[in-house]
Amino acid sequence: MPDDGSHPRRHYWIIAGVVLMYWAVSISMVFLNKFILSGSFGDEELTIFAAWYQSLSAAGFIVFIGFGGQKCKIKVPKVEPSLLYSRTMLLLSMSSVCSLTFNNLMLKHIGVAFYQVARSFTIIFTIGLSAIYLKKGLTARAVMSCFLVVCGFFIGIDQEDVSGTLSVMGVIYGLLSSLSAAVTGILFKKAETVLDRDSLKLAYYNNMNCMMLFLPLVIGSGQLVSVFKSQYIYSMNFWLVLTFTGGLSLCIGWVSALQIKYTSPIAHHLSINAKSVCQTVLAVLFYNESKTLYWWLGNFLVVAGVLVYTFTRILEDSKKSKDDVPSADLPITLQKQHTNGHFKV
């Protein structure tokens, strides 16, 4: 709320608009990626090609915005090789490439409704890496959070098996995606410091590196040649959807920053959690799926585990603010996530 207390209603409408925009961008990204990877355009394998093209599009959008936004004083970040190819940035980009690849492979094998459960181990890996990398002790609440998530994860797997929709490979890719997303969270915080918290430069540098790192993968897998030899090359809809998702992957980082700016980091995590619930319900309705009570219980336990962790963070941050000690915790990366992983939906 503004310091002078003026226009409180307008401020609340801005908050509501920012939160809804985050939900719309994040949910659209997941559904569109599933649409691309589920064979809607044909039988060609697109898991790596889609991620590479989205990185290419995101970097291109930044350049386009920079040239088109000169009147608004928006400048394309200057490329500084010493920073672009620094150890921190390269590690972040390699982690992002892993996260994007495993996320796409997971989405190819599972339904959107199961996405929340399949990616639920992100929080467990985050807590574990916090304990190992940041030397943070495990609290009783953190252990309880992990316990709830694990219970929900295995109940969800069991119910997917009962319904005949379980993909073992999808679950494995989900675990790998969760791990790489948690690692990306650590490296993202370090890269922010290296680039003086310039979010546009960070997005630009990361997408440029990802674009280059994906190139040998997309060529080696044969997907690049396969796409350009297929009917996709003549499909305007295919290129429009891919380019649009590239723009969404860039927007996720922007709307996440806006949500944090107008609310708080904790409120952002709560919004992510609520968005995941909404996404699950929408997926069940959109794909006309029938889920058992135990399936919903598994999702509820995952949500409960994340909420316990979030409230633990609230208490920790409150204590740190009283002691005037900067917070060094890790973000929950779902993104895009980017999570798609261009920032981890």
- Write the pLDDT tens digit of every residue in 191-216: 888 888 887 888 889 999 999 999 99
Nearest to 309 by CA among 174, 182, 175: 182
Q: How far is CA 124 from the centre of its chain?
A: 16
pLDDT of 341 over the 70 cut: no
Tens-digit pLDDT profile for residues 169-186: 999 999 999 999 989 888
The per-residue pLDDT for range 236-248, each reduced to its tens digit, is 999 999 999 999 9
pLDDT tens, 245-271? 999 988 887 788 777 778 776 677 778
Using a pLDDT cut of 90, give the percent of the chain over it. Answer: 50
What is this structure's pTM?
0.85
User: Using 50, 70 and 90 to split pLDDT, how confident is the model at 317?
Assistant: low
- Spell out the residues 6+ positions from residue 283 whose beta carbon is closer than 8 angstroms to its own: 31, 111, 112, 113, 115, 289
83-87, 116-120, 325-329: lowest mean pLDDT where?
325-329
CA separation for the pair 108, 104 (Å, rounded): 6
* Per-chain mean pLDDT for the chain: 84
Question: In this predicted structure, what is the pLDDT of residue 336?
Answer: 41
pLDDT of residue 34: 95
Which helix (DSSP H) or strand (DSSP E) does residue 344 occupy?
A: none
Q: Is the dihedral of CA 111, 115, 117, 122 positive or negative?
A: positive
**Cβ atoms 124, 117 nearer than 8 A:** no
